Chain A
Amino acid sequence: MSSISSSDSRLGLRSPDTVMRLERLGSAFPTRLSFGRSMIRNLIADGVEVRRSRWSMDPQGFGRATYTLELGGHTYSLIAFSNALDDADRSDRVIAEAWDASFALFDGVPESADLDRLEANLPRQEAGRYSEKELVISRSNKSVRLFSHVAQALAKGEQPDVDMVDSIGYLMRTTAVYGNGKFGIADRFVFSDRPGLGGPFAAEMLTVWLIRNFTHDLVEHVAAAMGGENAVRLDPAIKRHLGIGNSTGLGMAPFLVYHPELIHNWLNARETAIARVRAIPSLTPAQAQQLQDLLQRAKTHVSQWHVPDAIQTARLDVLRAELSAMEQPDWQADYPLQRLIDWSLSQSVECQELIAALCLEPFGALLDDLTETMAFNAPKTFNAAQTVAEIKAMIAEHYDWCEGFDLEQQPSQQRFWYVSEAKLEPRLGDRYAEAGADKEQPLDIARQVQWLLDDLAGFDPAAPLLDVLASHPEHRNIAKRIQAAQQRPFAEVRDNLIDQSMRPIDLLRCKLAFFGAVKFDPKSDLWTRITLFQGAPLVDELPMRGDDWWLATKPVLSSA
């Protein structure tokens, strides 16, 4: 069993005042600790084989399919339903009510009755009802452009255009992946002790990787039906480059704020990993070569990352210029990674985070144990006997960042987070222009801290917190957070999340990078598309492809 060791505690971690700012969280890159990566490593370590156990599709690709695998002594199945969808109904938003395909990760092998039950519910997603046998549910929409292009090319016996494959990156994108008991599916505790599924979002990552495989099979099926004998299958290199897309909106942001213990564990693991590689005194020739190759790969990946968003484009332009101008790292020097990371501090935040992620990549033996510290399964506790003086001291130590926001100014609390009655879609409102602030979600952490401090001033320093909360129950939420943050310096996003200038997209990118996402494609400050599992092993090549797929680059076909 691994842990953050006592020797780690002597390492110098980056300060949470640096790490937990929105700009930096919004510049995160996937690392080898990302959940998609660790899930694939678990599959490889367990010798997992995926079997397509059912395939019942009409020539247009509508029907049902199941895939089955054994992991850690348990059997799981992905159940997929593919339906005809009118173009007018194809929306990635939460308020959509129909999708091209719907999925469940099923605990065991489904019987016909299970499939019939799920066929009546899964296509309706949130409007359906589920059982403990369903561990995760999801849905996806086609990238109509790419799916059609790939199907038509394969039907004619040709491979799809590699540039188009690279620029879009996926045949379908998921628009929600639900876990932990939503709509009656299994609670996370049902499987969190099972080998291979214990990590954060491991079951969701397994589901999404299997969905990616389904999209590959689906497009080949449609092409075969169209082209008959002329049709060909996808070149494995192109297939590998076809990840699975995802559209993510505001719903992901409250998750980060509502789970401070979990978020600390994610960031603490990553920061500990960075500190560990900084402490490496010298590299072997093989490690130096690997880092050099990875640096070139990162440059190529970034050169192939193009998005319409003006802000992200400007950041990528700067990043490309910085990487182009950087001097050749001296891999033979003492503490070469510390030198490289220190060099990056004079570059953009995107560059700093990319370099940090790069430096982790070759050191699985040193770092991968940290993935076992990233879940949070312990019960939460609260000590109401703590004194006013003690909670004030905690605020002074861990929440001094809240003092910097002048919440008397209107722009500092311009926005409010809420849930719309329209399919419970999470949204952001303008406090001074829209109704609904009375139903605000408690993401205003800095403001809550300031309000608590104001009210604590009226109490004796020796008074217990429970006396404060008897007359001020509204402070219970922030008091719990303050206690939880005592041993967890990375528990809080250290910015004002209701400020007019706050960009939710920063929160989304942080979480998605921990999933393993690449090619962030912001569509506004409120939502983004991304690609998962680009370059990841296909189901039939887990052992031979291995773990080396960080920041995939456009495939070069041998026949091209």
Chain B
Amino acid sequence: MSFSLNEVHMTLRKALCGRGLAFGVADDFGAVGARLSSGNEQDGVAAILAHDNQSLIALLHRVETTMASLSSDAPLDGLLERRLAEHLSGRPFPRARACAISEASWQQALDLSHLTYVPETEASRLGGAGAGTNDND
């Protein structure tokens, strides 16, 4: 199955929020997951979800510290660090549909995303936006 990059970004962001990561951090790693996944490069969803929340926060801090330091040529090890740095600096990348995301990692992201949804109740259903029953007018 192939995925649009925006759905990779949005799904991964929701998954990370579902795992308890702060929205602003989850948004960056959602974007990095899409960047990693672009054009079959790799399964960016699996690559991000392999790290726990604290590791992602620490990784972000390390990369931003490196980018902020005067010795900006300090090495960034690994593909994830490089892609994160490119994302943070707004560097363009060749954008193409994601085709290397496994069913298992996508399902994992969907399952985590589900944790951001509020369970349905009759009251919330009736209070939702809409006619409530039907719209045969």
CB <8 Å contact, B118 and A470: no
Report which of A181, A425, A479 forms a contact with B128, defined as CB distance below 8 A.
A425
CB <8 Å contact, A91 and B134: yes
Min CB gap B7→A, angstroms: 5
Supposing A143-B137, A384-B64 touch, asked if A187 and B4 sit within 8 A by C-beta, the answer is yes
B76 interfacial contact with A, CB 8 Å: no
Report the Cα distance A361→B22, complex, angstroms: 45
Contact with B along A140-163 (1 / 0, CB 8 A): 010111000000000000000000
CB <8 Å contact, A144 and B124: no
Report the Cα distance A250→B131, complex, angstroms: 13
CB neighbors of A among B13-49 (8 A): 21-25, 27-28
Which A residues are in CB contact (< 8 Å) with B124? Answer: 420, 427, 429, 434, 436
Min CB gap A200→B, angstroms: 15
Q: Which residues of B contact A (CB under 8 A)?
A: 1-7, 10, 21-25, 27-28, 57, 60-61, 64-65, 67-68, 88-92, 95, 97, 114-121, 123-125, 127-137
Closest to B127 in A: A427
List 5 extra interface pairs beyond A144-B137, A442-B23, CB under 8 A.
A90-B136, A184-B7, A427-B129, A428-B127, A476-B24
CB <8 Å contact, B128 and A526: yes
Supposing A189-B95, A473-B24 touch, asked if A429 and B118 sit within 8 A by C-beta, the answer is yes
Chain A interface: which size bin? 35 or more
Which A residues are in CB contact (< 8 Å) with B68? Answer: 384-385, 464, 466
What are 28 A-B contacts with C-beta separation under 8 Å?
A88-B134, A91-B131, A91-B133, A93-B129, A93-B131, A129-B1, A132-B2, A141-B135, A144-B136, A186-B4, A187-B4, A187-B6, A381-B89, A385-B68, A419-B116, A422-B120, A425-B128, A427-B118, A428-B127, A434-B121, A435-B118, A435-B119, A439-B117, A466-B64, A474-B24, A476-B23, A477-B24, A480-B24
CB <8 Å contact, B130 and A249: yes
CB <8 Å contact, B24 and A478: yes
Which A residues are in CB contact (< 8 Å) with B67? Answer: 384-385
A382 interfacial contact with B, CB 8 Å: yes
Report the Cα distance A247→B134, complex, angstroms: 13
Closest to B54 in A: A473
CB <8 Å contact, A378 and B90: yes
A310 interfacial contact with B, CB 8 Å: no
Closest to A416 in B: B118
CB neighbors of B among A110-155 (8 A): 129, 131-132, 141, 143-145
Supposing A381-B88, A476-B24, A477-B24 touch, asked if A436 and B57 sit within 8 A by C-beta, the answer is no
CB <8 Å contact, B134 and A89: yes
CB <8 Å contact, A379 and B92: yes
Which B residues are in CB contact (< 8 Å) with A382? Answer: 28, 88
Min CB gap B5→A, angstroms: 5
Min CB gap A449→B, angstroms: 13
Q: Which residues of A contact B (CB under 8 A)?
A: 87-95, 129, 131-132, 141, 143-145, 180-189, 247, 249-250, 378-382, 384-385, 418-422, 424-429, 434-436, 439, 442, 464, 466, 469-470, 473-480, 504, 523-524, 526-527
CB <8 Å contact, A476 and B128: no
Supposing A421-B117, A422-B125 touch, asked if A185 and B4 sit within 8 A by C-beta, the answer is yes
Closest to A258 in B: B27
CB <8 Å contact, A420 and B134: no
Report which of B23, B89, B92, B128 forms a contact with A93, defined as CB distance below 8 A.
B128
Among B24, B28, B115, B119, the one with the most A-chain Cβ atoms within 10 Å of its Cβ is B24
Which B residues are in CB contact (< 8 Å) with A87? Answer: 134, 136
CB <8 Å contact, A90 and B134: yes
Min CB gap B2→A, angstroms: 7
Which A residues are in CB contact (< 8 Å) with B116? Answer: 419, 439
Closest to A469 in B: B61
Min CB gap A484→B, angstroms: 12
Report the Cα distance A426→B6, complex, angstroms: 19
Min CB gap A168→B, angstroms: 9
Closest to A419 in B: B117
Supposing A184-B3, A187-B4 touch, asked if A524 and B129 sit within 8 A by C-beta, the answer is yes
Report the Cα distance A181→B65, complex, angstroms: 33
Which B residues are in CB contact (< 8 Å) with A94? Answer: 130
Report the Cα distance A381→B65, complex, angstroms: 15
Report which of A247, A435, A442 forms a contact with B135, defined as CB distance below 8 A.
A247
Report the Cα distance A379→B87, complex, angstroms: 8
Report the Cα distance A182→B135, complex, angstroms: 25
Closest to B86 in A: A379
Report which of B61, B64, B135 forms a contact with A91, defined as CB distance below 8 A.
B135
Which A residues are in CB contact (< 8 Å) with B131? Answer: 91-93, 523
Closest to A384 in B: B64
Report the Cα distance A560→B54, complex, angstroms: 73
Report which of A90, A426, A476 forms a contact with B25, defined as CB distance below 8 A.
A476
9 closest A-B pairs by CB: A476-B24, A181-B4, A249-B129, A477-B24, A93-B130, A181-B6, A379-B90, A436-B118, A385-B68
Report the Cα distance A380→B3, complex, angstroms: 22
CB <8 Å contact, A420 and B4: no
Among A189, A418, A476, the one with the most B-chain Cβ atoms within 10 Å of its Cβ is A476
Which B residues are in CB contact (< 8 Å) with A181? Answer: 4-7, 10
Min CB gap B103→A, angstroms: 13
Min CB gap B38→A, angstroms: 10
Report the Cα distance A418→B124, complex, angstroms: 11
